[in-house]
Amino acid sequence: MSLRPTENPKPQPRARPVLGTNIPSFCFETIQELSHYAAHLVAALVHERAALGQKTVVGLPAGSTPLTTFRELIRLHNEDGLDLSSVVLFSLDEYYGLPANSPQSHRGWLQEQLLNRVNIPPDQVFFLDGQLHQSDIDLHCRRYDEAIQHAGGLDLVILGIGLNGHIGFNEPFSVRRSRTRLCTLDPITRRSVASDFFGEDNVPIQALTVGLSGMLSARRILLLAIGEHKSKIVVEALERPVSDRVPASYLQEHGDVRVLLDGPASSMLKGASTPWLLGNVTWGDELIKRATLWLCAQTGKALLKLDADDFRAHDLHQLLRHHGPAEAISQKVFRWMLDTIDYHPAGTQPKKIVCFSPHPDDDVISMGGTLIRLNDDKHEVHVAYMTSGNIAVFDHDALRVAELVADYNQLFEIELEQTNRLANQVREAIDQKKPGQPDMESILRIKGLIRRSEARAAAIAIGCKPSNLHFLDLPFYRTGTIAKKPVGEEDIQIIETLLKTLVPDQIYVAGDLADPHGTHRVCAEAIFAALIRMTERGEKLPDVLLYRGAWQEYPLHEIEIAVPLSPGDLSLKRQSIFMHESQKDKALFPGSDPREFWQRAEDRNRGTADSYNRIGLPEFFALEAFARWKGKPI
């Protein structure tokens, strides 16, 4: 039952308590460390209760948030001998009306991602049944609650938090005493999972969920929040008063809750964003910059217009006392921000550059203007497209291309029989395809070809050479569904091979943890793993710059390089984004932002320039922002 000691134990995760929250909350430097902590807490509880001859009754959710925790539990089971045979597991929710074998089913997801890989006995696993007739649901839900009580009650519940504050499928304005039931999904919930179903129209309207009273009756609760897109609702749940508008805030009334956050999810909490408002802090350069830029936003003043009264009026007495006068602080931060502006981010001497693009359009959307500048500066610019992006193409586009090729071959009398047969197979497969169903292999290949041709046209438009475009097609992405595999050895090897072959002086990596699909994060994990191996072998690393994707921009205090763009640069960048025709007008997975990708990019680039101007720096038409990699995983 005990864990076997390993020869090279992993370093213990470093958690930083987050001050100012109404629930004990802890921020971890990386998602891996957060997951390590959560999984080992589960393992310790299982071991403790098993030693007393007791089972451990656990309530688990599905979804991307607990996935890395589940993978660490699987590792503990496989490598360290963690015995989970004494666990009784209750699934917390399920979509209503969804077949059990659907890839979006929570039952199927838990089976695939956890249960098939550990030794929890099947007769100790309980699922809500989303296929019952409505007349049978009340009885089923009642018996589910009874089964939990019969098992001794929940010892531990692991929860994620929705963008609207839901836990399980207890949507906003759920009743505190609610039991397991059928509920109607909030529009925000349906929109947030739309990519899992290949479109919001395919998302079920109702779901079954364990109620708030059932979850809050658990002896211990872990709430996990990962990613910058969760930061706003984390504030509502942890710092604001309890409200039925934010069901997760009811956790404040529980006696044994821990909230585990990564840095981006905690970024808007007072203890992370404005710790000086909660007490004494140690004023390093990074905190001085953040506080002074925050003061600019609070006062509406430029840096060089701040005075001592501004610092005192906004509780920055300590900063003024230890690093003042006010003019000295403001001038220092002004110089720091001025030094971030760089027209030539790779210098003026020819260098070899690699831009890693998770999806086939992230390069031009996120840093198209900088790629224009790098090409204009005569650098050897390579773009490595890490995934095919094939699941983000509409069926009608795939059918159009298949029929176009068939017509083309007929026009020029090229392989007519095989071409027509494939076109008919594609047409038939699309006609018979059910909502949310993955594509057959041939359709995925056609969709991948569409994305590849668009990426090539876009890169050439901004000056890249066709021979410098690399389509890596990393294995972790090749599932045909939204759910991806974890980063594997083959993924890392492909990246290492590219780096060894090209030996770049500078690389650009998508460090966007707000990507709702997780692909950016997984791609970054693979790149960082390859770079860390290079470090361990004593090899020289390239200069590593991080860029954001289509969802967020770096806050001012995190920007280390800002590349000015002219109106001509922004116009050419827009034209290159337009080359991605399958993603234009209406993308299959646009996220929650209704704007097109080119609009998001332009608004963000102009917004960054406006932010620089507001703090008193030169006025630019647009800016693309970057940060430097700190040499750690994410």
Active site residues: 171
Of 104, 103, 56, the closest CA to residue 83 belongs to 56
Q: Using CA of residue 114, residue 117, residue 120, residue 121, what is the dihedral sign?
A: positive
Helix axes 519-536, 489-502, angle to 10 degrees: 60
- Cα atoms found within 13 Å of the Cα of residue 38, Cβ hemisphere only: 38
Sort 420 into a burial class: Cβ within 10 Å, 0-12 / 13-18 / 19+. Answer: middle
Antiparallel, parallel or unpaired: β 25-28 and 15-17 = antiparallel
Angle at which helices 441-461 and 567-578 pack, to 10 degrees? Answer: 160
- Find, among 623, 101, 560, the residue nearest to 366 by Cα: 623
Distance CA 620, CA 616 (A): 12
The amino acid at 118? V
| Continuous H helices in 314-394 | 317-323, 326-340, 362-376
Backbone φ and ψ for 207, nearest 5 degrees, come out as: -155, 160
Which two structure tokens, joined as six digits, stand for 632?
């750690």
DSSP states of 579-611: T-GGGSSS-SS-TT--S-HHHHHHHHHHHHHHH
What DSSP state is assigned to residue 398? Answer: H
Beta-carbon count within 10 A of 81 CB: 11
Pairing of strands 622-628, 543-547: antiparallel
How many other CB atoms sit within 10 Å of the CB of residue 59? 24
Tokens of 2: 């005990």
How many angstroms separate the CA atoms of 61 and 73, rounded? 15
Cα separation of 400 and 396, whole Å? 6
C-alpha to C-alpha distance for 160 and 168, rounded to whole angstroms: 8
Query: Position of tokens 């090229």?
Result: 414
Helix (H), strand (E) at residue 109? helix 106-113
HEC states along 463-530?
Answer: CCCHHHEEECCCHHHCCCCCCCCCCCHHHHHHHHHHHHHHCCCEEEEECCCCCCCCHHHHHHHHHHHH
Measure the CA dihedral 165/512/582/451, to 10°: -140
Q: Which residues of 287-315 are buried (b: 16+ CB within 10 A; e: fewer)?
A: ebbbbbbbbbeebebebeebeeebbeebe
Q: How far apart are CA 176 and CA 249, in angstroms?
A: 11
For the four alpha carbons of 603, 604, 610 and 611, in that order, the dihedral sign comes to: positive
Q: How many helices (H) and strands (E) does the chain have?
A: 21, 18
- Pull the structure tokens for residue 342: 């760089």
